[in-house]
Structure 1
Amino acid sequence: MDNRRQVVVDVWGKIAMFTPPESKIERVSYCVPTPSACRGVLCSIYLKPIEFYYEIKKIEVMKPIKMIEIKTNESKTKIELKEPHPIYLTMGKMKDPIGMGIRTGQGTQRGNVYLKDVYYRITADIVKRTDAPDRIDIDHLYQQFDKRIKKGKCFRQPFLGTHECMAFFKMPDPYVTPIKESRDFGYMLYDVFDITRNEKLDTSENGNVDKIVSPSFYHAVMRDGTIHVPGWESSDIRRLI
C-alpha cells in the first residue's frame, strides 16, 4: 500500500528571509528557499503530527531573484509588566508614569538583506508515518490538504523564513512558469530537525532543545528555475553527525 501522495502549492510574498545558519547579527538571505522553510509553509496550512509529515521534492522559482536591504531596530530585552495590561499600551514607553511596566535595556539597529517580490511553487510528498494509527488513509490526508488550499484555510499565517515575511498561497497557477535561469548555489541548509518526528521546538527550561539533530545540508542546483530536492534518506544529504 502506498504511504505517500504528492501535493503542489504556489506561495508568494513581498519579502522573504531564508537565513543561513552561519548568519548571526546581520542576516543575508539565501537566494532561494530552503526545504526547511518550505516545510514550514506547508505545516502552517495543514498538519497532523501523529499522522504524517512533509518531504519537499521540488522548489520552483517563478519570479527573478531580487534583493533588498532593510534596516531593523531590534530590542535586546522583553517588556516587563508589573501586572497584566494590553501590550500596545506599553510599546515605546521608556518611562513608567502609571506603574504598568518599562522597557529595559537598549535596542540595536541591524542591516538585513531580504529577497524582494518572491513567488515559488512547492512540490512535496505527504508521507504517512510508520507508527500512524491504522485508520489513517493517505488519500484522505491528500483530500484534506487539497480542500484547505482551495478554500485558503491555514492553522496560522504562513511566512517565508521569518515571521515578518508574510506568505500567501493558492492552487498552482498554470499560466505562471519558472524563470529561465540556471545557477549552482552550492551547499544549502536542508533542515535542522528530523523531519519524520514533527516535534515543535520548545526552548523553555524543560523544553526539547536536546532533540534537535545537527543541521543537514544538500547541494542546491537550479536548472531553468527548478531545484530538485533529494529525499530525507538520500545519501546526497550531508549531516553534521
Structure 2
Amino acid sequence: MSFCLEVQGDYACFTRPEMKVERVSYDFITPSAARSVFEAILWKPEIRWQVERIEILAPVRWISVRRNEVGAVISTRNVQTAMTAGQGQLGLYIEDERQQRAGLFLRDVRYRLHARITAVKGEALHNPAKYAEMFSRRASKGQCVNQPYLGCREFDARFRLVTSPHGEPEPCVDVDGDFGWMLYDMDFSRPADPKPTFFRARVVRGVLDLSGVEVRS
C-alpha cells in the first residue's frame, strides 16, 4: 500500500558525497532521505519502505552558513581500553578540536513524498494491512519514533499525512531538467561493507519519478 506525506522545513542539507570538507547540498531531497522520514514514523524489521515519487513544492532556495564543527571523534582504542580497565580517557575537548566550516544549504523546503510498504519477512508477509493501519494512525496523529530530519539532524522536518490529492498544491514547475547523478541509497547486501548507489535525477515540472530508475554503484 502506498502513502503520501507532505514534508517541510526551514533548512535542509542533503550532502553531496563528492564534497570532502564543506557541506554542499543536492538541489532537493534524496530518495534515502525521503525513506528515512517514513522510517522515523514507522520502522519494523519486517518491512521496507520503497520511495516511488518525490514532488518538489517550493522553489530551490540556497543559504550559505559558516558554523563550528568538531573535527575528531573519540578513539575506538581508548573506548576498548576503558571497557577492559573500567576507566580511561574518553573526553573530547571541543576547544582543541573545533573547526569552522562553510556549508551551502537549502532553505524553506517543501516536498510531497510517495512511498509504499514492502513486506520482507515475518508477520508482514501474512498481515500487511496491520502495518499500513499502524502507519496511518501514527502519521495522522503526528507520532514518530524519532524526529524526522532533512539531511542533518539539526534540520528537523514537519510532516502531515496526505490522504487525498484534492486541494493540495501543485509541484513547482520551475524545478525542471536533468540534475545529474544523485545518491539513491546504500546497498547493505554486504553489511560489513555497504556501498552507495546512484541514479540519474531527471525532474519533470517539479516531479521526480523513481519508478523504474536505473541504479548504479
Q: Which amino acid aligns with 2:155?
A: C
Bigger fraction of residues in strand: 2
Among 46, 65, 77, the alignment partner of 2:42 is 46
Paired residues of 1:230 and 1:237 also in contact (CA < 8 A): no
Asked if 1:178 corresponds to 2:171, the answer is yes
**Aligned position for 2:147:** 157
**Superposed displacement of residue 211, structure 1:** 4.2
CA distance in 2, matches of 1:153, 1:136: 25
- Are residues 1:221 and 2:216 paired? no
What's the TM-score once normalised by structure 2's chain length? 0.83
Q: Does residue 1:128 correspond to 2:119, yes or no?
A: yes
Deviation at 1:237, TM superposition (A): 0.9
Equivalent pair of 1:78/1:103 in contact (CA under 8 Å): no
* Number of aligned residues: 197
C-alpha distance in 2 between matches for 1:103 and 1:78: 10
> Quick one: which amino acid aligns to residue 4 of structure 2?
V
Structure 1 segments (4+ residues) deviating >6 Å? none
Higher helix fraction (1 or 2): 2
| Secondary structure, counterpart of 1:40 in structure 2 | helix
CA RMSD of aligned residues (A): 2.2
Match of 1:192, SS state, is: strand
- Deviation by residue 1:62-95 (Cα, 9 ceiling, x = unmatched): 011100001110122469xxxxxxxxxxxxxxxx
Structure 2 runs not aligned, ≥5 long: 75-90
Contact 2:7 2:157 in 1 (8 A): yes
Which amino acid is the alignment partner of residue 170 of structure 1?
R
Code of the aligned partner of 2:28:
V
Which one is further off, 56-65 or 174-183? 174-183
2:6 to 10, 25, 33: 10
Q: Secondary structure at the match of 1:145?
A: helix
Deviations 1:120-166 (A, max 9, x none): 0100110011x323774112211111111110000000000111111
